[in-house]
Amino acid sequence: MASARPENTDNRRGLDRRVTIPGDFALTGGQALPALEIAYETYGDLNADASNAILICHALTMDQYVAGHNPRTGKPGWWPRLVGPGKPIDPDRHFIICSNVLGGCNGTTGPGNVNPLTNQHYAMTFPVITIRDMVNAQAALLDHLGIETLAAVVGGSMGGMQALDWAVAHPHRVRSVVAIATAARHSAQNIAFHEVGRQAIMADPNWSGGAYPLDKQPVAGLAVARMAAHITYLSEEGLTEKFGRRLQDRDTPGSPQPGFGFDAEFQVESYLRHQGLSFTQRFDANSYLYITRAMDYFDLGAPHDGVLAKAFAGTKTRFALVSFTSDWLYPTAESRRIVRALNAAGAAVSFVELESPFGHDAFLLDAPEMIRVVDGFLRAGT
């Protein structure tokens, strides 16, 4: 399938590629998309027996630019410590694929796309999607690329959900799964936080039932949604260490005096406001609704009467799970639950809980132990 390989003059940089998958794309909910465009990046070259492909799945607000240079932001990719030359996932050894998820807003079909049947933006006529639908879209991309089997699927957070689901939906196409800071189902508290975000978006009059012009989205609501979510990505300990009760622009020696007002008085407020506002410049509100909804529906054990082990029955895939001590969004207990289910299913599984004060976001930050664990696991399997 050499024809599908990237014509890449610099195989470490990514190509900003798109592909249109022909035919209807069937969804879990019973509907189908009349067209599926996938935006993706590849790094490195597929080897002769197409055995060195690694799929990286991104989290809720990330994109396909996992490594190299992100042409939209002008910044480096989002997982530079794990992916890149000399890193555990290495374009000199692996053919690395990362695609924008179904429902996303970075090139893959989502609510911001035009429905070819109506020539209108989908907006809220876009069908509700699931993590499984995201995985199936990635499988269609692999078909297009001529890759039958993945050496590994790797992801953190929602990316970890996709990685786990790959082993359930397409067990014969995945040799190894690395699932970091993730869960096999969304908890009531996870759903609750997402619902706050969705309600914040929908409460913004600019949302207009989802039919906003793409250049005039519900910025205020989306910013509030991001602020609420962002708190869940950090730990109480991390917030205290980073900001404590320090006052904005008054962190000088002596006795800083509060301003007694509603401006961003504390540094943590200023930080959150910035996080909220900058997010609205790179993300679409309707995509946020659809992707959070997909995560809420995620429950790998549900089709098996809640017995997660049955979802993995007969698996030949190897698994590595990593959790972080201060992650309260997808806490270690959820990873342990997955490990128990995998053990019950007779799967090969390694698991480590790593010390970190940085909460859920730890998987994106400097985590040398995580890098070593993933490196060792991938090398042992290839």
Distance CA 64, CA 54 (A): 13
State yes or no: residue 205 binds its own copies (CB under 8 A): yes
273 contacts its own copies (rule: CB under 8 A): yes
Is 196 a residue that touches its own copies (CB under 8 A)? yes
H/E segment holding residue 226: helix 219-233
Q: Is 242 in the site for its own copies (CB under 8 A)?
A: yes
Q: Which is nearer to its own copies, 98 or 123 (CB)?
A: 123
Residue 279 to residue 4: CA distance in whole angstroms? 34
The stretch near its own copies (CB under 8 A) out of 7-15, 78-86, 156-164, 196-204 is 196-204
Query: Of 6-35, which residues contact its own copies (CB under 8 A)?
Result: 29-30
Of 53-61, 89-97, 120-128, 338-346, the window that binds its own copies (rule: CB under 8 A) is: 120-128
Cα 186 to Cα 109, 137, 234, 286, 329: the distances in Å are: 24, 21, 18, 20, 10
Q: How far is the CB of 235 from its own copies (least distance, A)?
A: 8
Would you say 106 or 267 has its CB closer to its own copies? 267
Among 115, 187, 325, 382, the residue binding its own copies under the rule CB under 8 A is 187
Please report whether residue 346 would count as binding its own copies according to CB under 8 A. Answer: no
Q: Is residue 119 close enough to count as binding its own copies by CB under 8 A?
A: no
H/E stretch holding 26 reads strand 25-26
Q: Locate 231 and state its tokens.
A: 């708190």
Sole binder of its own copies in the list 25, 43, 212, 297 (CB under 8 A): 297
Query: How would you classify residue 314: left for phi > 0, otherwise alpha for psi between -120 and 50, otherwise beta?
Result: left
Residue set of the binding site for substrate: 226, 361
Q: Quick count: other Cβ atoms within 10 Å of Cβ 253?
A: 5
Q: What is the DSSP letter of 91?
A: T
Pairing assessment for the beta strands 152-156 and 114-115 based on DSSP bridges: unpaired
Token pair recorded at residue 37: 């465009």
How many chain residues are in contact with its own copies, going by CB under 8 A?
57
Binding residues: 226, 361
Q: Kind and range of the H or E element at 161?
A: helix 158-169
**Complete DSSP assignment for 346-375:** T-EEEEEEEP-SSGGGGGGS--HHHHHHHH
Q: Residues 6 or more apart from 282 whose CB is under 8 A from it?
A: 72, 73
Nearer to its own copies, 19 or 239 (CB): 239
For residue 307, state whether it binds its own copies (rule: CB under 8 A): no
Q: Report how far residue 90's alpha carbon sits from residue 375's, in angstroms, rounded to the nearest whole number.
A: 10
Q: Which residue in 203, 211, 214, 380 binds its own copies (CB under 8 A)? A: 203
Query: Which residues are annotated as catalytic?
Result: 157, 327, 360
Site map (CB under 8 A) of its own copies, residues 313-332, x = contact: ---------------x--x-
Amino acid at 267: Q
Query: CB of 317: closest distance to its own copies in angstroms?
Result: 25
Binding site for its own copies (CB under 8 A): 29-30, 124, 127-128, 185-189, 191-193, 195-196, 198-200, 202-205, 220-221, 223-224, 227-228, 231, 234, 236, 239-240, 242-245, 258, 260-262, 264-266, 268-269, 272-273, 276, 289, 293, 296-297, 299, 302, 328, 331
